[in-house]
Chains A and B, each alone.
Chain A
Amino acid sequence: MSRHDELGEFTDFVTGYQGKMVRLAELLTGDRGRAEDLAQDGFAKAYAAWDRIRGGDPAAYVRRCIINANTDWWRRRVRYEQPSPQVPEIFAHVDLAAASAARDLVLRALAKLTSRERAVLALRFYLDLSELQIARELGISPGTVKSATSRALAKLRADAELRSEVAS
């Protein structure tokens, strides 16, 4: 494959998947800027390994890069994650325009979950992966996927802000 073919193929891949990957990273981090950084790093690693991964599932490779990078970042930042009902300061800066309101609400809700719970929900309900696929991508057992999903959904259903949103 010539370099031009490779570049063309990779460009198509980025164009086709950048929306999904940035959204995945945004759901994991709650921060659009960092989400784009994570997605960009993931795509760069994919380009570096393109010869090896292009015949398989390059999207899965980028997803793993994003999830791992987010996990690493999170580990560096806090030794033990402690979800808090307090919304991180970053959300105070989210655009309150109508177009952003939906995103704002979702990210506020997800911010109250653990990073694993966010990852499980994003993979299950945004990317529509099966429990088995999620288990493989996160390196955990299917049972853990199931319990994390269940916990996350329970938290969201009990979320007072979401409930009041329904009521209004």
Chain B
Amino acid sequence: MTTPQPGRGCPVDLHYPDPQPPNLDLAAIIGQGRRIRHRRRLSQLGAVLAACVAVGSVIAGARGFAISMFPTPSGPAAAPSAAPIDAQVAEDPPANGKLTLISSWPRHWTTVAWATRRGEVCLATFRIPMQGATENVECPAWLRSEVPGSGGIAFSALVPDVALASSVPGTAWPVLGLTDPRAVRVVLTAFGTEVSANVVPVPLSAGKTVGVFLAWIRAPGHSFSGTDVTNEVAYDQSGHIIANASNPP
């Protein structure tokens, strides 16, 4: 029992024994923290793109690629050549030993994804030849708890691709996400416009897969955040909706 303390101290003992030791959900904390990071990065990207627009560096025609400019899902496995990516892959090798090509657009740029043995999903974007371009490695980009299929979730948080954004000046934002492995296509709605992206199956361990997509979101202004994507729909091979999420996190 707390004994009120005499004198100038606190009359109650704030160090009372805890009948219920705290046990916070570390995976949820990290997932939530990562989503905050992603939102901040998107905002930073907004500032970069705004600066590009301000100095008149928008490439003619760049605005037209936002929808349906994606590779087929059956692309060959890409071979990363940049040393930092090699190092990252060596540290977190793919569970099945292969990287999966997600996109080879725009020209010279390659985006790959892989799942680690711990069930996390990583991604990397690089340019060949390098020519001083910034590469981007996110590993893990999504924790195991964020991978659809492991907890009833249909879509992961969206992850912006910083390197790819810098490759194409303009107001289109490259974002990657995970979805149900049965999906072949997703449609994202942002700013009242629908954007379609092909879904590429990426092998997880134990014969499972997860769908990875890269979508280019067009923002009417010069800022964009994950919350601007108000709807996500995943379609299977037959065109049936297999997942639908409004206001995803």
Q: Do A and B come from one complex?
A: yes
- Residues of B in contact (CB 8 Å), total 36
Given A11-B26, A126-B15, A3-B139 contact (CB < 8 Å): yes
Chain A residues positioned under 8 Å from B1 (CB to CB):
101-102, 105, 165
Asked if residues B17 and A99 are in contact (CB atoms below 8 Å), the reply is: yes
**Which of the residues A14, A48, A125, A157 comes within 8 Å of B26, measured between beta carbons?**
A14
A21-66, CB < 8 A from B? 22-23, 27, 32, 36, 39-41, 43-48, 50
Interface residues of chain B: helix, strand, loop or mixed (majority)? loop
Asked if residues A40 and B21 are in contact (CB atoms below 8 Å), the reply is: no
Does A140 have its Cβ within 8 Å of any Cβ on chain B? no
Asked if residues B4 and A48 are in contact (CB atoms below 8 Å), the reply is: no
Asked if residues B32 and A40 are in contact (CB atoms below 8 Å), the reply is: yes
Min distance, Cβ B56 to any Cβ of chain A, angstroms = 33
* Most interface-central of B18, B28, B37, B139 (chain A CB within 10 A): B18
Does A121 have its Cβ within 8 Å of any Cβ on chain B? yes
Chain B residues positioned under 8 Å from A48 (CB to CB):
33-34, 36-37, 40
Give the CA-CA distance A84 to B54 in the complex, in Å.
56
Give the CA-CA distance A166 to B8 in the complex, in Å.
16
Give the CA-CA distance A101 to B12 in the complex, in Å.
13
- Name the residue on B nearest A50 (C-beta): B33
Give the CA-CA distance A156 to B12 in the complex, in Å.
8
Give the CA-CA distance A3 to B37 in the complex, in Å.
14
Give the CA-CA distance A16 to B74 in the complex, in Å.
47
Does B2 have its Cβ within 8 Å of any Cβ on chain A? yes
B34-68, CB < 8 A from A? 34, 36-37, 40
- Name the residue on B nearest A149 (C-beta): B10
Does A146 have its Cβ within 8 Å of any Cβ on chain B? no
Min distance, Cβ A128 to any Cβ of chain B, angstroms = 10
Given A36-B22, A48-B34, A125-B29 contact (CB < 8 Å): no
Asked if residues B32 and A41 are in contact (CB atoms below 8 Å), the reply is: yes
Asked if residues A126 and B14 are in contact (CB atoms below 8 Å), the reply is: yes
Does B24 have its Cβ within 8 Å of any Cβ on chain A? yes
Chain A 77-88: CB-based contact to B (< 8 A → 1; otherwise 0): 000000000000
Chain A residues positioned under 8 Å from B4 (CB to CB):
156, 162-163, 165-166
Asked if residues A45 and B33 are in contact (CB atoms below 8 Å), the reply is: yes
Asked if residues B14 and A121 are in contact (CB atoms below 8 Å), the reply is: yes
- Name the residue on A nearest B16 (C-beta): A102
Asked if residues A103 and B10 are in contact (CB atoms below 8 Å), the reply is: no
A112-154, CB < 8 A from B? 121-122, 124-126, 153
In the A-B complex, the 5 residue pairs with the closest CB atoms: A47-B33, A99-B19, A44-B32, A48-B36, A102-B16
Q: Which A residues have a C-beta under 8 Å from some C-beta of B?
A: 2-4, 7, 10-11, 14, 18-19, 22-23, 27, 32, 36, 39-41, 43-48, 50, 95, 97, 99-103, 105-106, 109-110, 121-122, 124-126, 153, 156-157, 159, 162-163, 165-166
Not counting A22-B24, A32-B20, A45-B36, a sample of 6 additional A-B residue pairs whose C-beta atoms are within 8 angstroms of each other reads A4-B91, A40-B29, A47-B30, A99-B19, A153-B11, A162-B11
